[in-house]
Amino acid sequence: MAVPTDSLDDALDTAALASRAARFSTPLSVEVLDECASTSSVLLERAAVGAAHGSVLACEHQSAGRGRRGNPWFSARGGSIAFSLLWRFEARPAALSGLSLAAAVLVARALEREGAAGVRLKWPNDLLHGDAKLGGILVEVSGEARGPSAAVIGVGLNVRLDAEARARIGQPVADLAGCAASVPSRTELLAALLDSLAQGLARFGREGFAPFRDEWQRRHAWQGRRVALTASGRRVVEGEALGVAEDGALVLRSPGGVERFHSGELSLRPA
């Protein structure tokens, strides 16, 4: 049976989305493309030449979607959501640690409001259902050493994946259709995600990650599990995952004691 799809770039739905986004607590300007290489790559280029705070770029099909460390991100036409949001901060780039974790909390909140159950978070940027990947977040920050900063927050989310899409991805994945009794249109989902981000990022700009930490901890998929941190395929340390600190650092209990690690090029896996 074919997986039902809806069109993110339908003219009527796009107009409704743009109208709704303009009335958010922080108004957003939304553009939807049929195809591009990567919404984050395009928005980064626009940010460098002065794109406005609150610019959003969504796309039906990314030909070169990407995640952390240059890993590819596959988005199924009609079965996924892929978008990027430009948010400008007065703070310096170094002060934005924990931004990807806060964004993950805000995305999880929106999904649960739309009926999803069991959405969990994996440090530093994954959304899981069970142990399978439901979505991912890529944050890229630029700016002066003392501020201000510009962050492009890219979000990829599996909504309805058919067998062909799952085969192309080639690893265990989850979709919203598998963790919600009913799934609204992707246009409605995108509006809900953007509304949650617009509200929460304003608070992050004032208070940092600290107000989001407890909620991230409650959703932590690997709390208390034995994990391994790797960099470039080389194991750095093994230990028990204790959660995250108020700056978003991963906290592990290792043979050397309780240690903190910031994301950088690190990757987290079961030990």
Describe the crossing of helices 186-207 and 210-218 by its angle, rounded to 10 degrees.
Answer: 130
CA distance 16 to 139: 27
Peptide bond into 148 cis (omega under 30): yes
From 20, 122, 133, 219, active-site residue = 133
Q: For this structure, is 133 an active site residue?
A: yes
Helix residue ranges per DSSP H, the chain:
11-21, 39-48, 99-113, 163-169, 186-207, 210-218
Rg (CA), the chain: 18
CA distance 81 to 69: 21
CA distance 82 to 77: 10
CA distance 155 to 252: 27
Q: For this structure, is 218 an active site residue?
A: no
Torsion angle defined by CA atoms of residues 104, 109, 115 and 118, in that order, rounded to the nearest 10 degrees: 60
Active site residues: 68, 133, 269
